[in-house]
Amino acid sequence: MTTQNAINWPEKYLPGTGDNFVSNEVIVKGLTAARVWHYLTDTSTWESYYDNVADISFPESGGPELSGELAFSFGTFGFPPLAARVVEFQTPDQDVPGRLSWTAKQDGKPEQRLDVLHAWLVEDLPGGRVRILTQESQIGEPAAALANERPNPMLNGHQAWLDGVVRAASA
């Protein structure tokens, strides 16, 4: 029996306790976690396979490759660039899943404040398969508004990101 890993959640962002939560997952044969990891952690590739991200920058230097504690910013879902920081970074290895998560925040008036944790888990599975799981927990009025939209733009946007990273890693 194979047990699949789960996202590590800080208590503040625990799914179901905030204003919006989405979860997307794909399992694909013929790819490896290491191959996917490259396209997920090298932000210079993001815009080539995901059209809902822009204005990626690194205000404290570093990048374009993500790493532990790295500060960066990016625009997405029509928000101005969000201040982000990598809070978990574990490169995939044999029997060890890749783990990447970052917080992203937008300050301002209460109706503008947004605080999210976006997490990724990338793991090799038996039979030459890879599992890519992405989940995001959001706090704030903009998050609550997104959660009430139909279709859910976060769910669809993150599926597009998953589909894009699979395409890029498969090329």
pLDDT digits (tens, 9 = 90+) for 87-141: 999 999 988 999 999 999 999 898 899 999 999 999 999 999 999 999 999 999 9
Mean pLDDT within 81-85:
96
Closest CA to 77 of 153, 161, 150: 153
What is the spatial distance between Cα 49 and Cα 8, in angstroms, rounded to a whole number? Answer: 26
Please tell me whether residue 123 adopts helix, strand or coil conformation: strand
Give the position of tokens 């879902």: 77
Q: Where are the domains of the chain?
A: 19-170
- Which contiguous run of DSSP H or E holds residue 22? strand 20-29
pLDDT digits (tens, 9 = 90+) for 149-163: 999 999 999 999 999
pTM: 0.95
What are the residue ranges of helices labelled H in the chain? Answer: 33-41, 46-49, 141-148, 153-170
pLDDT digits (tens, 9 = 90+) for 34-43: 999 999 999 9
Answer whether CATH 3.40.50.300 is correct for domain 19-170. no
CA angle, 106 then 111 then 113, to 5°: 20
